[in-house]
Chains A and B, each alone.
Chain A
Amino acid sequence: MTPSDSEQTKTQQPDLMDLAQKRDLMQQRVAASLKRRHASEKRFRLYGMAAVTVALSFVAILFITILSKGLPAFWQATLTLDVYFDPEIIEIDEKPVRQPGESDGAFQQRMLAWQTDLGFVNFNRIILNSLAEVLPEAPRYQRDAMRLVTSGERFGLRQLVEDNPAIVGQTLRLKLLADANVDVWLKGNIDRSLPDSQQQLSARTRAWADELAERGIIRNQFSTALFMNADSRSSLASAGLAGAFMGSLMMMLIVMFLAVPVGVASAIYLEEFAPKNRLTDLIEVNINNLAAVPSIVFGLLGASVFILWFKLPLSAPIVGGLVLSLMTLPTVIIATRSTLKAIPPSIRQAALGIGASKVQSVFHHVLPLAIPGILTGSILGVAQALGEAAPLLLIGMSSFVASVPGSPFDQSTALPVQIYLWQGNELRNFFEARTSAAIIVLLALMISLNALAIWLRRHFETRW
C-alpha cells in the first residue's frame, strides 16, 4: 500500500459526519446560484423580447407611414365632364381605309398624313368648351380654366378620336384627370393660407376647383393612370408606373432565365461533382466574396462590359437584367449549395449502393429533395434583384423615359429607380404621395414573391 492510500482510508471514517454538512452547504450554494441563473435567464429573455419589440415597431412605423402617405395617391382628383367632339374644331378627313391593291407603304403614308392632321386639332379648345358648360366664366379666363385639367388629357381625347373617328359630332361623358396642383389643393396637401405668390394655382383656379369639388364634378376617383401610364413630366397628374413596371418585369424575367439556371447548375456541379481541390476552394471563396460585393460595383461592371464592349443600348432592360443576373448569381449559388449540403449523405449512399451512377443519384434523389430550398433561394435572389436601384443608376436607367418599353432593348426605368426619380421631383406636394404609392406597389410585389417562396417551400417539403 502506498502512503497516499493509507492516508485516504484514515481520513475517510471521521469524514462521514462532515459529508452530510458538506452536502447541505453544497445544496445551499446550488440554490443560491440557481437564483442567479434564473435571474439571468429572465433578463436575457427580456432583452430578447425588447429587441423583437423594437424591430417590430420599426417595421410597423415604416409600413404605417408608407401606407398613410401612399394610399391616398391611388385616388386622384378627376373631373367628370360632358365632352362635345365638335366637328367644327375636329376638321379632319375620314380615317383612311386600306384600298384593295394598295401597297403597305402607300397606306401607311396616307395614315400618317391623317394622323398628322389630327395632331393639329386643338383639343384644348374642346376641353375648354366642356369646362364652359359647367363654368360659364371659363372662356374668359382660359389660362386659369385650363389649369384645372392636366395637360395630358388632350392626348387622351385625340387617342379616342383616332381609335374611333365616329365619335366626332357626339357628346361623351368622360373622366378627365385634374391637374396635379388641383389634386394637391383639394387634398389639402398645400397650406391654404399661403399668399397668392406662393401658390401654384391662381386664386381663380383655386376657387373653381373648390366650387367644382363642391358640385361633385371633381371627385376623388381610383387612378388607373398610376398603373396604365408611363412616367410624364409635362402632365404630372398622369405620370404612372407602367413603364417602370414593364422594365422591372423584363429584368426579373432575364434574371430568372439567366441567373437561376446558371446558378443552380454551377451549384450542383460544385457541390456534387467537382473534385475538392485548391481550384474549387478558390472558386468557393470567390463566390462568397462576390456575394458581398456592393451592388453598385456590378453596375460599374455592367456599364464597362455590356455597354462599352458589347455595345448594348443604354438604359435598356437587357443590360439591367444582365447586371442584376450577375449580382444574383452568387446568391443563387450559395443558397443552392447550402440546400444540397443539407441533404443527408445517406440518401446519396443509398442510391450509389444500389448501383445508381453519380448523375442518377443526384438527379433522382438529391435534386428532388433540394427543389424547395433551391426555389426559395432563387425567388429571394430575384426579389432582391427586383428591389435593387444602385447598379441600374450606372447603366443609365435613371433617365426619364416617357414610354412603356416594348422590348428589352428599349429605353426603360425600373420600379426602384422610378421611386428614386419621383422622390426627386420638384412638385413635392404631389409626388411625395405618389412615391409612397410606388413603394407600396414594389412592396406588394416583393411580398407576393416571398409568399410564393414560402408557399413553394411548404408545398414541396418532404421529410427524410
Chain B
Amino acid sequence: MNTMQVSFGEKKDNAAQAEHAVKMSARDVKVFYGDNEALHGINMDILENEVIAFIGPSGCGKSTFLRCLNRMNDTIDTARVTGLVTLDGKDIYDRSLDVVQLRAQVGMVFQKPNPFPKSIFENIAYGPRLHGLVDNKRDLDEVVESSLRRAGLWDEVKDRLEAPGTGLSGGQQQRLCIARAIAVSPEVILMDEPCSALDPIATSIIEELIDELKGSYTIAIVTHNMQQAARVSDKTAFFHLGNLVELNDTREIFTNPQDSRTEDYITGRFG
C-alpha cells in the first residue's frame, strides 16, 4: 500500500506528466461481494489521454476495479462499492449522476467479443441512436463510418454493413465492439482483457488500434499478458489480492519494480 502511494506521489511530481490532467481517480475504493471484500481500498489517479494497464494474478480484482469505473458493478446483485470514484472531479456514485450518462462517457469493451446479434450497421448505430447523438440518417451513416474507420474495420466491412455482426471473425468482432464503444464518443474506454479470446494476429491488430486511439481517449486495459502491457501502456498498475501494490510508468515497473511482489510477478515467479 505504502509503496503504491510513494510511487504514485512521485508520478504526480513528475514534470513530464504535468500536461496531463487527472481524468478519473479512485480514493479508498472497496468492493464487497456479499460479505467478501474483493478490493481493499484502492487509490489511483488515471490521467487524461494515457493508457493504463492493470496487471496481476487472476482473481486479484482487476476486473472488479475496472467495473467500478463505469459502475458496471451495479449490475451485480451482490456487489457493493464504497469509497470515492470521480470522473473530471465529479463523484460518479453521486445520486444526482445518471449512470446512463456515465456509461456514455466511460465506454467498455469486454473480454469476450459481444456484438449484438444484429447487423454490423445496427451494432454501431445503437449507441448514437440511444443517446440521441444524431438527428438524421446521414449523420448516423457518418458516425458509423467514422467509428468503423477508427477501429480499423471499415475496409473489411464497408460492403456488408447489413451482414450480422456475429458472422465476423473473433478479432473483427472485438474491433466491432471497440467501434461500437467509440461511436458514442466516450472520454474513457475500459477494456477487460480484450485480446484474451483472440489469436496472436488479431491481438496485434487490436494492440495497434489501442496505440492509435491513445491521445484521443483515456484507456484502461486489463491484461494478463505482460508483453502486451509493456507494448501498449504508458502506466502500469499491479494488483495483488485485492490491493494495488504498485503503480508507475510502465518502463519503471518492468525494469525497476519497487515492490518484491511486483518483481516476482513480472519475472514469472508466481501468477
Stretch at the interface among A56-64, A331-339, A355-363: A355-363
- List chain A residues, Cβ under 8 A from B100: 355-357
Residue A464 interfacial (CB < 8 Å): yes
Which residue from A344, A349, A350, A355 sits with its C-beta under 8 Å from B130?
A: A355
When the two chains form their complex, are residues A346 and B130 in contact, meaning their CB atoms are under 8 A apart?
no
A349 touching B114, Cβ below 8 Å: yes
Which stretch, B12-20, B23-31, B103-111, B263-271, touches the partner chain A? B103-111
Residues of A within 8 A of B108 (CB): 349, 353-354
Asked if residues A346 and B117 are in contact (CB atoms below 8 Å), the reply is no
Most buried by B among A349, A350, A354, A462: A354
Contact of A353 among B103, B112, B115, B131 (CB under 8 A): B103
B70 within 8 A of A: yes
B110 and A464 contact, CB distance less than 8 A: no
Cross-chain contact B166 with A463 (CB below 8 angstroms)? yes
Q: Which residues of B contact A353 (CB under 8 A)?
A: 70, 72, 103, 107-108, 110, 181
Interface string of B189-213 (1 = CB under 8 A from A): 0000000000000000000000000
Interface string of A237-263 (1 = CB under 8 A from B): 000000000000000000000000000
Contacts A355-B131, A356-B130, A464-B166; is A350 near B77 (CB within 8 Å)?
Answer: no
Distance A364 CA – B129 CA, assembled complex (angstroms): 12
CB of A276 within 8 Å of the partner chain: yes
- Alpha-carbon distance A275/B70, docked complex (angstroms): 21
Q: What is the 8 Å Cβ interface bit string for chain A, positions 84-120, against chain B (1 contact, 0 not)?
A: 0000000000000000000000000000000000000
CB-CB contacts below 8 Å: A302-318 with B: none
**B180 interface neighbour in A346, A348, A354, A464, Cβ under 8 Å:** A354
Which A residue's beta carbon lies closest to that of B74? A352
Asked, given contacts A346-B110, A347-B116, whether A354 binds B75 with beta carbons under 8 Å apart, the answer is: no
Contact call B117/A350, Cβ cutoff below 8 A: no
Nearest residue, chain B, Cβ from A349 = B110
**What's the least CB distance linking A104 to chain B, in Å?**
59
Q: Does A365 contact B (CB under 8 A)?
A: yes
A267 at the interface (CB under 8 A from B): no
Q: In the assembled complex, how far is the CB of residue A360 from the closest CB belonging to chain B, in whole angstroms?
A: 7
B117 touches A354 (CB 8 A): no
Chain B CB count within 10 A is highest, among A346, A352, A360, for A352
The verdict on A236 contacting chain B, using a C-beta distance below 8 Å, is no
Instruction: Report whether B181 and A354 are in contact in the complex, using a CB–CB cutoff of 8 Å.
Output: yes
Cα–Cα, bound, A462→B112 (Å): 19
With both beta carbons as reference points, the residue of chain B lying nearest to A358 in the complex is identified as B75
Query: Using Cβ atoms and an 8 Å threshold, which residues of chain A touch B126?
Result: 351, 354, 356, 364
- Flag if A355 contacts B110 (CB, 8 Å): no
Interface residue? A369 (CB, 8 A): yes
Using CB atoms, name the residue of chain A closest to B100: A355
> Judging by beta carbons under 8 Å apart, are B115 and A350 in contact?
yes
Query: Which B residues are in CB contact (< 8 Å) with A364?
Result: 126
> Considering the chains assembled together, what is the distance between the CA atoms of A352 and B131 in angstroms?
13
B101 at interface by CB-CB < 8 Å: yes
Interface assignment of B245: CB less than 8 Å from any CB of chain A: no
In the assembly, what is the distance between CA of A294 and CA of B107, in Å?
51
Interface hits, B50-109 → A, CB 8 Å: 70, 72, 75, 77, 100-104, 107-108
Contact A354 B114 (CB under 8 A): no
B113 to chain A: closest CB distance in Å? 9
Would you call B127 an interface residue if the criterion is a C-beta within 8 Å of the partner chain's C-beta atoms?
Answer: yes
Q: Residue A352 contacts which of B72, B77, B115, B177 (CB distance < 8 angstroms)?
A: B72
A73 to B101 CA separation, bound complex (whole angstroms): 69
Residue of A275, A346, A353, A464 most packed against chain B (CB within 10 A): A353
Q: Check A352/B130 contact, CB under 8 A, given A346-B112, A369-B117, A464-B117.
A: no
Assess the B72–A462 pair: CB atoms within 8 A. Answer: no
**B229 CB-CB contact with A under 8 Å:** no
Other A-B pairs beyond A354-B103, A354-B184, A355-B184, 4, CB < 8 Å: A350-B177, A353-B107, A353-B181, A354-B127
Jot down 27 A-B pairs with beta carbons below 8 A, ordered by A: A275-B77, A346-B110, A346-B114, A347-B114, A350-B115, A351-B116, A352-B103, A353-B70, A353-B107, A353-B181, A354-B107, A354-B108, A354-B126, A354-B127, A354-B130, A354-B181, A354-B184, A355-B102, A355-B103, A355-B104, A355-B184, A356-B100, A357-B100, A364-B126, A462-B117, A463-B166, A464-B117
Complex A-B, nearest 3 residue pairs according to Cβ-Cβ distance, in ascending order? A346-B114, A353-B108, A355-B103
Q: Which B positions have Cβ atoms within 8 angstroms of A?
A: 70, 72, 75, 77, 100-104, 107-108, 110, 112, 114-117, 126-127, 130-131, 166, 177, 180-181, 184
